[in-house]
Amino acid sequence: MKSRPTFLEVNKAHFPVTVLGPGRRIGLWVQGCSIGCKGCISMDTWRADPRKKVDIDDLLSWCRQVGASGFDGVTISGGEPFDQAQALTVLLRGLREWRRVDKLDFDILCYSGYPLKTLHNKHAAILALLDAVISEPFIESQEPVAVWRGSSNQLLLPLSNLGHQRFDEFVSKPLADTDKKMQVAVEHGKIWMIGIPARGDMEKVEALCSSRGLSLQDVSWRR
């Protein structure tokens, strides 16, 4: 019998995240992406890295700890979550079990750079564990027109009853200026920018920092 994968390669975990889905959310970014979209701002997540393996039980414990004060949802991004399909399945089952046992009502949203058709064909069992998915590769030339998406081809698909309750109103909601928000966190000497930047925003941030004497090194949007 195949043993259950117990580790997920994780790039980052943060709470609260308020710019990738409705409400206050737990944000989990996986390590490793085999898609390689041109213009990706998260190139630091591309390379699979066994040193970033995290025990899924520990990750769930951390979620319980930070979520104890109340939260609305979990957003899983990356990297490409579906590249670690078995570990993702274990994580999602753990989240759903926690939700069921503790009678919580948080939703689970997952990003993927794979087309919806591929996800339906290869990962239907994982889609069944999610409340909503945002699919399709990032296309730099297609400016986003809807909230929480990086390019106009990306689709938000509610997948469960809870997903419909939480996400239906956002499926085609046009992107407003007030939706263009980024969060900034400083941890372990690194600056983390969370959210979907508009085209050119990262260069503007870099230029602004430079004008104030701060030189950014090892940025994730350039190799």
The DSSP string of 125-170 is: HHHTT-SEEEES---TTS---BTT-SSTT-EEEE-SHHHHHHHGGG
Is 59 a binding residue for ligand SF4 by CB under 6 A? The answer is no
Is 30 a binding residue for ligand SF4 by CB under 6 A? The answer is no
Which residue, 44 or 107, is less far from ligand SF4 as judged by CB?
A: 44
Minimum CB–partner distance for residue 33 and ligand SF4 (Å): 3
Which residue, 67 or 134, is less far from ligand SF4 as judged by CB?
A: 134
Which residue, 113 or 163, is less far from ligand SF4 as judged by CB?
A: 113
Contact positions with ligand SF4 (CB under 6 A) in 161-220:
none
Q: Which stretch binds ligand SF4 (CB under 6 A): 19-27, 29-37, 102-110, 159-167?
A: 29-37
| Distant-in-sequence, close-in-space partners of 84: CB < 8 Å, separation ≥ 6 | 5, 8, 9, 30, 32
> Which residues share a beta bridge with 26?
74
When computed from its CA atoms, the radius of gyration of the chain, rounded to whole angstroms, is: 17
Tell me the three state secondary structure of residue 1.
Answer: coil
Give the residues lining the site for ligand SF4 (CB under 6 A): 33, 35-37, 40, 42, 45, 78-80, 113, 137-138
